Amino acid sequence: MTTLPDDLRAMRADVATQDAHPTSLLPGVPTGTAERVALADDAPVRALRVYRPVATSGMPAVIVNLHGGGFVLGDGGGDDPYCRFLADAAGCVVVNLEYPLAPEHPYPAAVHHVTDVLAWLTTHGSAIGVDGARLAVGGHSAGGNLAAAACLLGARRGTPRPVGLVVDYAPLDLVQPPAAKLTAAHRAGAAELAEAGARFNAWYLPDPARAAEGLASPLLADDLTVLPATLVVTAALDLLAAEGDAFAERLRAAGVATTHATFPGVDHGFTHAGPAREAAAAWHLMAGFLAGVLAPDAS
């Protein structure tokens, strides 16, 4: 059994308190659209947190949302209002997945867990009332890393093969130490973020020799042609902006349909922490992208 460091316990307690009472930067988020759906014993998880659009016809598509938290924090509760928004704005079901955290479950446990859930939804989507053939996955910060890695692993296995991927200010290169990503252009708090990132990465990836693996560092994966249409969101002041930009460039070079949006003047986590105008613009961008790739007639 893994003994958690005291500071990580404290961080988790703080995040749990915040996630239990999430705030939204978006006005008019629907209520009463979330439910916890129990699954059969042969499913990879016992239950899923599901958000449905207020109005829909037929069998809706589905996106699996993966929260941030440096691979070690959170349970997705902080994404609750945004999952409600995406379900309604994109006209799809959102599954807000609670994945296993490090250091109790180090790399690649979370990647395999997410991939298993995506594969199950592909073949058993009707169990939660969705069309598993119209499946996307996306995530924020560490969740964006896991979303991209799950698509890579799915391609390696042959399933699942999502039709869309959202990568929101994600750490995509775990080989380069976070401190080495600092530049003179970064704000004063960037050094603290780099320090925290180094600790998170060490808990997630206890064997640094594996950092160059594509499932740990999707930016460094040998073959990105296997990825689906992808939206990459970067924050211009973020420590991770350069690797997000590089990921988008590699996707385009690989022939992947790529939408890349860089938001100027904002930092890591802006979709959840603001500024509100830029956060709202990013969430509307994500909803529009998902509505497109998940449309019944999308090629």
Q: Per-residue pLDDT for the chain (299 aa), expressed as one digit of tens each?
A: 788 999 999 999 999 999 999 989 999 899 888 999 999 999 999 999 999 999 877 899 999 999 999 999 999 999 999 999 999 999 999 999 999 999 999 999 999 999 999 999 999 999 999 999 999 999 999 999 999 999 999 999 999 999 999 999 999 999 999 999 998 788 777 888 899 999 999 999 999 999 999 999 999 999 999 999 999 999 999 999 999 999 999 999 999 999 999 999 999 999 999 999 999 999 999 999 999 999 998 85
- The predicted model scores a pTM of 0.97
pLDDT for res 274: 95
Q: How far apart are CA 233 and CA 214, in angstroms?
A: 20
Number of domains in the chain: 1
Please report whether residue 1 resides in a domain: no
Are 290 and 92 in contact, with CB atoms under 8 Å apart? yes
Please report whether residue 17 resides in a domain: yes
Helix (H) or strand (E) holding 277: helix 276-293
pLDDT for res 239: 95
* Conformational region of residue 118, where left means phi above 0, alpha means psi within -120 to 50, and beta covers everything else: alpha
Please report whether residue 257 resides in a domain: yes
Please report whether residue 222 resides in a domain: yes
CATH number at residue 204: 3.40.50.1820
Please report whether residue 299 resides in a domain: no
Point out which residues pair with 165 in neighbouring strands.
Answer: 137, 230
Please report whether residue 216 resides in a domain: yes
pLDDT for res 115: 98
pLDDT for res 299: 57
Domain range for 51 = 6-293
Helix (H, G, I), strand (E, B) or coil at 1: coil
What are residue 50's phi and psi, to 5 degrees? -120, 135
Please report whether residue 228 resides in a domain: yes
Please report whether residue 298 resides in a domain: no
CA atoms within 13 A on the CB side of 257: 10
Residue with tokens 């409600």: 84
